[in-house]
Amino acid sequence: MDLISYLEGLPPSVVGALYSSPWTCRAVVRGIPPLAKQYVMRMVLLDQGVAEGVIDAWPKASARSQHATAMRKLGRLQLLTLVPKGQQASVLATLPPRDNERAFRLHPEVQRQLRKALVSGVAAQSQTLSQSVNRALPSSAQLEDHAVRQWEGLLSFLHGSTPQPPLLASEGPKPKLDIIKLLQSAQLQQGNRGKRELTASGFRFMLMDTYHQLWLLLRAYIDLAKNQSGAELASVVSFLLQLGGHEAAQPISLASMQANERDICADLALLGLLLPFRDGEGGSWACPTRLAMALGGSGSAEAQQEVSQGYIIVETNYRMYAYTSSTLQRAVLDLFVRCEAVLPNLYIGTLTRESVIAALAKGLDSEQLLTFLRRHAHPRALQRSPVVPEVVGDQMRLWQAQTRRLKSDAAQLYQQFGDVKVWRASVERAKELGIWLWDHEPSRRLAARVEGHPQMREFIRSQQ
């Protein structure tokens, strides 16, 4: 998932407000396929619409599939809009003209922003920094420490390892984000402030990689803004797109931001995406961390890189060694591993049938557990193939299969049939309806799915 894909599902009114921002237009054009970019640039200086037949003639015959993909993308992002029938007199049409042919033109706001950029140029995001800003600029280690501290604090609060959500220790505007409301909006946690517990989605969330965890929470954050107003939604998405265009450690001045953008900046700092700081003259700034690079799109390897190094070794005897001192990482392992010993920098446990089945009962599955073990494998474990011993993976899948051998259905039991002919006819009727579950002729009993009870009741009454 990325922000560009998210825009495809927004209503036209919200998209129109988003396209009034040059950052949104630049980000969208940067994120569409190359052929779609060509179509946008061909139409950006045209004042009239273009007939569909003309656009279809642009690509080579060998690029028909790429053309179809580009047109779908442009339509979903509302970059192309239909020209009304009454305004097609000046359309760039095919020769000879076709009857009832559709015509398209570039979205007016996108066209205006791109024309302005082409004619007047675009102000570069990089800027000359004063000495006071350069001296106060956070180091790479400080940015990494902030991202890890805030993100692990959030996950620890979600898991229940810590009673309080993470706080923002650095300087800058105070966040207004309600962490509990955000987690519940993402359906990761349920209950009130006094008693909170993970949902099945929350357990699966704990085993995801950082990139997908981040996008799930950002989607919930955007939805919270959507519930407030369309203007607030446009403001949040536009700011996230603007942030995605920055590089890590590239400072952003908060003085030039609007009040709502400073609030968003504070919320993102609470999540570990930004690190606020002040320069020697008291000016407010913020630096994107490595987590913020995920906003640039899902194709960035840097954005998907894990915050932590691999630390898990699994042996063929189901014994597991995790070289970590992180309380959070140990808590996640406790979800599906039986802990046997904890040393200052080493967690020793065993993958048992009971521990794995307990994890499956919480909504996880064996493939998610194995993917987690592979993703966090120790560098030494990565040197062997497979990373997780095959016997361990097969056994975990078998344990999962054992939990799925039995299937329960809500059923209605029919008994005390006075006539065996009525009982047999009822059995046949249940099979015809596809609701038969079980029957026993000596005792004249029949079990059928409960959703078919009204039909069975009427049928039995008609036979008596």
17: tokens are 């407000």
Categorize the per-residue pLDDT at 171 as very low, low, confident or very high, splitting at 50, 70 and 90. Answer: low
Identify the residue with better confidence: 352 or 237: 352
H/E stretch holding 398 reads: helix 390-403
Q: Give residue-wise pLDDT tens across range 84-98.
A: 876 666 677 766 667
Picking from 60, 52, 54, 116, the residue whose alpha carbon sits closest to that of residue 80 is 52
Domains belonging to the chain, first-starting first, are 3-120 (1.10.10), 137-304 (no CATH), 312-403 (no CATH), 411-463 (3.30.70.2610)
Could you tell me how many helices (H) and strands (E) the chain has, helices first?
Answer: 21, 15
What gap in Å lies between CA 265 and CA 254, rounded to an integer?
8
H/E stretch holding 142 reads: helix 140-159
Q: Give residue-wise pLDDT tens across range 362-414.
A: 989 999 999 999 999 999 999 999 999 999 999 999 999 988 777 777 899 99
Residue 296's pLDDT is 59
Residue 300's pLDDT is 44
Q: Which residues contact 229 (CB under 8 A, 6 or more apart)?
A: none
- The alpha carbons of the chain give a radius of gyration, in whole angstroms, of 30
Residue 66's pLDDT is 94
What gap in Å lies between CA 443 and CA 375, rounded to an integer?
56
Q: Give residue-wise pLDDT tens across range 131-154.
A: 888 888 899 899 999 999 999 999
CB 292 within 8 A of CB 274: yes
pTM exceeding 0.85? no
In this predicted structure, the answer to whether residue 306 has a pLDDT above a threshold of 50 is no
Number of residues that make up the chain: 464
Q: Please state the rounded mean pLDDT for residues 99-120.
A: 88
CB 230 within 8 A of CB 17: yes
Residue 193's pLDDT is 66
Identify the residue with better confidence: 441 or 406: 441
Residue 59's pLDDT is 92
Q: Please state the rounded mean pLDDT for residues 58-72.
A: 92
Residue 236's pLDDT is 87
Q: Give residue-wise pLDDT tens across range 293-305.
A: 777 554 444 444 4
Q: Please state the rounded mean pLDDT for residues 96-125.
A: 81
Q: Which amino acid is at 404?
A: R
Q: Which amino acid is at 463?
A: Q
CB 319 within 8 A of CB 327: no
Residue 302's pLDDT is 45
Residue 243's pLDDT is 83
Q: What are phi and psi of 377, to 5 degrees?
A: -65, 145
340: tokens are 């046997």
Residue 350's pLDDT is 97
User: If you average pLDDT over each of 194-203, 320-329, 401-410, 412-421, which comes out highest?
Assistant: 320-329
Residue 320 burial (CB < 10 Å; 0-12/13-18/19+)?
buried
Q: Is the peptide bond before 163 cis (omega within 30 degrees of 0)?
A: no
- State the CB neighbour count (10 A cutoff) for residue 90: 11
Categorize the per-residue pLDDT at 433 as very low, low, confident or very high, splitting at 50, 70 and 90. Answer: confident
What gap in Å lies between CA 236 and CA 261, rounded to an integer?
8
H/E stretch holding 189 reads: strand 189-191
Categorize the per-residue pLDDT at 188 as very low, low, confident or very high, splitting at 50, 70 and 90. Answer: very high
Rounded to the nearest integer, the mean pLDDT of the chain is 86
- State the CB neighbour count (10 A cutoff) for residue 210: 21
Identify the residue with better confidence: 131 or 338: 338
Share of the chain above pLDDT 90, in %: 45
Q: Please state the rounded mean pLDDT for residues 450-455.
A: 89
